[in-house]
Amino acid sequence: EEFLRIYWDTYPLLVLFISIPFYINSFLIFANLFACAVVDPGGVSREWSQANVSRVKFASQKERLEFLREHRGENLETLYPADKLNSPNQIFKYCYICKLVKPERAHHCQQCNRCILKMDHHCPWVGNCVGFGNHKLFLLFCIHASLGCLMDAFLLFPRSLHVLQTTGLFGKDTDLTCVIGCVCGFFVGASIGFLAIVHGYHILINLTTVEMHITDTKKNPFARPKACDHWKMAVGPEVLSWFFPIAPLKMQVDAHNFPKKQEMVLQD
């Protein structure tokens, strides 16, 4: 009761203090959602594919023969002799749907029907793939959506508590709207917040959701010594741009050619 008395006494000030951040956060939710939906996550360049057609890696001779049939006029038989399936220089996979050579971190999305650079996953909520070009926007959307739901739960909590104390949960005049809104806001906000933490962690270790299922995190070939380097590779080096619903600026890496550990050693 004392808590409710203090709450109602300070309600006008509390509303003023919370409502402004709440509306700003609400704008950022929809702005990041829209940006994540319309910004291109990154597709494989046809020019890059043609330049690396001699570096395709095959899982079997059957796959090799199918590839050679598709590129019959390019005289690739000398690059892919029948007695040697792969060479150390042949590291890329070939997408038989897109007819393109895929960079190491690219994957084909069946929903978008194309290969996505550094593909994380296809998100039905934004209607787009989350990849190299918009992973930062998806992370911001999750952060602001989580904050919005938790702020909603915080605003509704005193009113819900008052309803439960005066009429009970199943009373005749009980207003369950605010109670349900408070509970849903808390659990939805916590769930989306957990998703944001997971994606933030993936960015910091430089692995995608797809790669987390197929790569040993201790043997990540794309790992760098500092987590901040991974962060800047995903969201860009410009600190001010991190907080706005815009695509990353001045990306430090080419999504077609992510440097590996041994390549970093040679560069140093």
Between CA 154 and CA 189 the distance in angstroms is 11
Count how many Cα atoms sit within 13 Å of the Cα of residue 87 in the half-sphere of its side chain: 9
Instruction: Find out whether 130 and 121 touch, Cβ atoms under 8 Å.
Output: yes
In this structure, what are the phi and psi dihedrals at residue 114, rounded to the nearest 5 degrees? Answer: -160, 165
Q: Render the burial of 193-219: b for 16+ CB within 10 Å, e for the rest.
A: bebbeebeebbeebbbebbeeeeeeee
Q: What are the tokens at 42?
A: 């990154």
What the block records as the tokens of 208 is 């995608």
> Which residue among the candidates 95, 123, 178, 184 is catalytic per the annotation?
123
Residue for token pair 């929903």: 111
Catalytic residue status for 123: yes
Active site residues: 123
